[in-house]
Structure 1
Amino acid sequence: MKFCFFIKDWLRWMIGKRGVRSLGILNATSPRFLVALFLVSLIAVLQIPAIAQPPIAPPPIAPPPIAQPPIAPPPMLQVDPQPAATPQPATPQPPIAKQAEIRGVWMTSNDSDILMDQPKLEEAIGQLSRLHFNTLYPVVWNSGYVTYPSTVVQEAGIQNFVRRGIQGQDMLADLVQRAHRKNLLVIPWFEFGFMTPPTSELALNHPDWLTQQRDGTQTWIGAAGEVVWLNPFHPQVQKFITDLVLEVVTRYDIDGVQFDDHTSLPNVFGYDSYTRSLYQQETGSSPPSDPYNSSWVRWRADKITAFVRQLNKAVKEKKPNVIFSVTPNPYHVAYDSHLQDWARWVRDDLVDELIVQVYRDEMDFFTAELNRPEVKAAQKKIPTAVGILTGLRNRPVPMPFIQSKVRAARDRNLGVAFFFFESLWEYAPEPVAERQSDFLNLFPNPAVRSSI
């Protein structure tokens, strides 16, 4: 900038001293004119940046600082010298993986054709996926028959036909393929366990496989109507059930297998000749006449536990990551009345998933079952849920009551499984759209599960 002032002063001096004409400025060819023009242009170039810059504002004046009371330095922490601790070997702890909550639904073959019709099945799976369910429990063993092509039942001479879907499909294979595309687990459900109708080929062709009550009665009336019970202590019965389960495990890309409250025996049974002889051989005495006799109950329950142990081992040898799921009644009912010691199964690591069926209408009873110690103990080891009845064809359940049960389960960090698919919104007092919207409000976000 000082150089510009120098040039301007020099021009004024030259013009003032010699005049404009004496400098030759009016002569465009004059060397003096060119020098002067160059100097003027140089001055303009040097001045433009300075002109273009906005005026520099004075720095803002900061407000006076607010006086703060002096902060005392923290006191020095006095640590008493401690002797060096002797290092102890760390106890290895198994990793605990947080599992997504169970959001399941049972799919039956009674009062339903959903498993048989491909378009209906595709629509159902799509809807369940949109409502953020994650697990399907399709029936594969019901009323003495299977719902898939089975070599085992044909060799046993109990089912000379093959159940296929309306479109001719293998229903289980079709379901697995469609469900997996939507990230839904498929855990086939052996619903009838050791139970079968008295008119089934299984009962008629294998009478020696049946057990009986003390008075010789073989039939029993329950929720499934009149049935008979296979003897769970008989080795041929155990082999038959095991072969059925392994057939499903090895032939299909399933995520697990499930056994419910019928993988058991009502405590009034066990007085057949085979079981009497076995008990006599092992204990030296005849079976007690009282079916509730504690030692008699324990002996039979232990036999069923031994079978479950063998079955679990056989399944895991085929596919270690398959979920071994159990869905019994509340423990005090399961053990006392059906010889099903599922609390021990959980303790002995024979179960990968537990769903306790609590279908009572009384909310106090429902919550009391969720608070039982055996349920809490199971929660510490495996994914645990409660079975909730969403309705039957002639017994619809209002949605507010279902919501109350789901909230009670979730308050205790329990998953839920609903019985059964059609009653989610078909056999219901509310409109379908309203019912589906309510389920979406219960499960607003996905919870994707995986195999073990």
Structure 2
Amino acid sequence: MKKYFIVLFVFLLTSLTISFSQKVNSESITEGVRGVWLTNVDSEVLNSREKISEAVELCERLGLNVIFVVTYNKGMTLYPSKVMKNLFDVEIDSAFIGRDPLQEVIEEAHKRNIKVFAWFEFGFSTSYQLDGGHILKKKPEWASKKSDGNLVVKNGFDWMNAFHPEAQNFMLSLIEEVVTNYNVDGIQGDDRLPAMPSEGGYDDFTVSLYKKSHEGKNPPTNFKDEDWVQWRADILTNFLEKLYSRVKAINNNVIVSMSPSIYPWSKEEYLQDWPEWLRRGIVELVCPQVYRYDLSKYQSALTDIVKEQVPTQDLWRIYPGVLIKVGAYYSSEKYLNEMIEYNRENGLNGEVFFFYEGLKKHIQYLENNYNQGKVKFPEFNNYK
């Protein structure tokens, strides 16, 4: 009998120990996005495999678990593209001929268990201060037009018509090409995909499309007319739904992410109705560009997102874009800490830093404060 009780005691003690251990381990491993955008502008990282390896090593050291690498910029890809070759006879950005930076980033990152999202940065923009560049030179019918008939140019960026079926199919083809041929964990659009300046929509194709659903009436001359804005925003939302379906048809595990501007500015200026994207279940990870230069404005913008614009059940899909460098600007360590703390206070266990070069100014801070414990990348593709 005594032997029986001893065995029973040991069994119960072992069970409790295992249970306690499992609880501690489950509590110590949290989920969250710790990301960074990797660019080919104001950065030399993508110029060689060696520099890519060094950058990825730093990301691992700082506790980052995802890299959003530029894949399409300035109307050119950063991988050898048959789509671009067939349409525009430009297979890859000339700076990367003979290489495949996208594949190199994927290989280096996956070695270190860091996820990679292909970031289609330029979206429906065609060029910067080049009157449409090589894309509109070859496809002038794709041009986005203002009410005066001129090409849509906003902040120096020239735009194609995001409502034109051929322009849409072009973007879809690029994304499908990457999802088919590369082991990416996700794809991402930003404030230019899906997007178009609200000044646009006055080209012949879009006017004709509008007339068909409005008893032959022309679009309002006021490009900020509320109904006119909504009508065009809905077209972009429908495009994103198609994009989402196309990606999932190729690989259901590839995550669809977007990094739009702050709402409602995003809708009023670039026709991005991204709260509706969440409602319709056509985006899995949203990284709103909460790019502000002081804490009060950052707090105000983030509070609007978490308290008013996104339902509680979808907040786990929100990870704000945090500006740490642009041009000569670097965020201070104090401000960086305040932004991260405010994210945590609002239940957001992560953020995405814009952009990689800014990390170098904050290495010690991030090593000491940011990379604390294991943070698992969430299972975003378990949407429904």
Q: Counterparts in 2 of 1:331-370, with a 5 A limit?
A: 331-370=263-302
Q: Distance in 2 between matches of 1:317 and 1:378?
A: 29
Counterpart secondary structure, 1:331: coil
Unaligned runs of 5+ in 2: 1-28
Counterpart secondary structure, 2:67: strand
Match for 1:138: what amino acid?
A: V
Within the alignment, does 1:187 sit opposite 2:120 as a pair?
A: no
Tell me the equivalent position of 1:255: 185
Larger Rg, first or second structure (1 or 2): 1
Q: Label 1:257 to 1:378 Cα distance change in 2 as closer, same or farther (>3 A).
A: farther
Q: Which deviates more, 207-216 or 440-449? A: 440-449
Match for 1:352: what amino acid?
A: E
Tell me the equivalent position of 1:390: 324
Percent sequence identity over matched residues?
32
Aligned-residue offset at 1:317: 0.5
Match for 1:214: what amino acid?
A: S
| Contact 1:149/1:163 (<8 A) preserved | no
Aligned-residue offset at 1:126: 1.0
Aligned-residue offset at 1:183: 0.9
Tell me the equivalent position of 1:420: 355
Within the alignment, does 1:438 sit opposite 2:365 as a pair?
A: yes
Aligned-residue offset at 1:115: 1.6
Give the alignment partner of residue 240 of structure 1, picking from 147, 170, 191: 170
Q: Distance in 2 between matches of 1:379 and 1:368?
A: 21
Q: Label 1:247 to 1:374 Cα distance change in 2 as closer, same or farther (>3 A).
A: farther
Bigger helix fraction: 2
Tell me the equivalent position of 1:102: 33
Counterpart secondary structure, 1:156: helix
Give the alignment partner of residue 206 of structure 1, picking from 135, 139, 144: 139
Aligned-residue offset at 1:376: 3.9
Aligned-residue offset at 1:400: 1.1
Counterpart secondary structure, 1:385: coil
Tell me the equivalent position of 2:101: 171
Tell me the equivalent position of 1:123: 54
Match for 1:437: what amino acid?
A: Q
Q: Distance in 1 between matches of 2:261 and 2:317?
A: 17
Deviations 1:76-111 (A, max 9, x none): xxxxxxxxxxxxxxxxxxxxxx97211100000111
Aligned-residue offset at 1:306: 0.8
Q: Distance in 2 between matches of 1:250 and 1:209?
A: 26
Counterpart secondary structure, 2:56: helix
Q: Distance in 2 between matches of 1:399 and 1:329?
A: 24
| Contact 2:132/2:158 (<8 A) preserved | no
| Contact 2:33/2:378 (<8 A) preserved | no
Q: Label 1:411 to 1:185 Cα distance change in 2 as closer, same or farther (>3 A).
A: same
| Contact 1:99/1:383 (<8 A) preserved | no
Deviations 1:116-161 (A, max 9, x none): 2111111111111111111100001111111100000111125155
Q: Which deviates more, 376-385 or 104-113? A: 376-385
Q: Counterparts in 2 of 1:199-348, with a 5 A limit?
A: 199-222=132-155, 226-263=156-193, 264-284=195-215, 285-348=217-280
Q: Label 1:116 to 1:450 Cα distance change in 2 as closer, same or farther (>3 A).
A: farther
Q: Distance in 2 between matches of 1:417 and 1:289?
A: 38
Deviations 1:362-404 (A, max 9, x none): 3112111212245542663642111111112412221111111
| Contact 2:143/2:161 (<8 A) preserved | yes
Aligned-residue offset at 1:114: 0.4
Tell me the equivalent position of 2:376: 448
Match for 2:64: what amino acid?
A: F
Q: Label 1:175 to 1:161 Cα distance change in 2 as closer, same or farther (>3 A).
A: closer
Tell me the equivalent position of 2:90: 159
Q: Label 1:124 to 1:248 Cα distance change in 2 as closer, same or farther (>3 A).
A: same
| Contact 1:343/1:374 (<8 A) preserved | no
Deviations 1:287-318 (A, max 9, x none): 00111111111110111111111111011000
Q: Label 1:175 to 1:163 Cα distance change in 2 as closer, same or farther (>3 A).
A: farther
Q: Label 1:378 to 1:235 Cα distance change in 2 as closer, same or farther (>3 A).
A: farther
Match for 1:324: what amino acid?
A: V
Q: Distance in 2 between matches of 1:256 and 1:382?
A: 17
Q: Label 1:341 to 1:245 Cα distance change in 2 as closer, same or farther (>3 A).
A: same
| Contact 2:187/2:254 (<8 A) preserved | yes
Q: Distance in 2 between matches of 1:256 and 1:236?
A: 24
Counterpart secondary structure, 1:328: coil
Tell me the equivalent position of 1:70: none
| Contact 2:142/2:167 (<8 A) preserved | yes
Aligned-residue offset at 1:164: 6.6
Q: Label 1:376 to 1:160 Cα distance change in 2 as closer, same or farther (>3 A).
A: closer
Counterpart secondary structure, 2:51: helix
The number of aligned residues is 343
Q: Distance in 1 between matches of 2:269 and 2:356?
A: 28
Q: Distance in 1 between matches of 2:341 and 2:242?
A: 37
Counterpart secondary structure, 1:104: strand
Deviations 1:262-293 (A, max 9, x none): 12111111111111111011112110011111
| Contact 2:83/2:174 (<8 A) preserved | yes
TM-score normalized with structure 2 length:
0.85
Match for 1:424: what amino acid?
A: L
Match for 1:346: what amino acid?
A: L
Q: Distance in 2 between matches of 1:227 and 1:165?
A: 23
Aligned-residue offset at 1:256: 0.3
| Contact 2:82/2:91 (<8 A) preserved | no
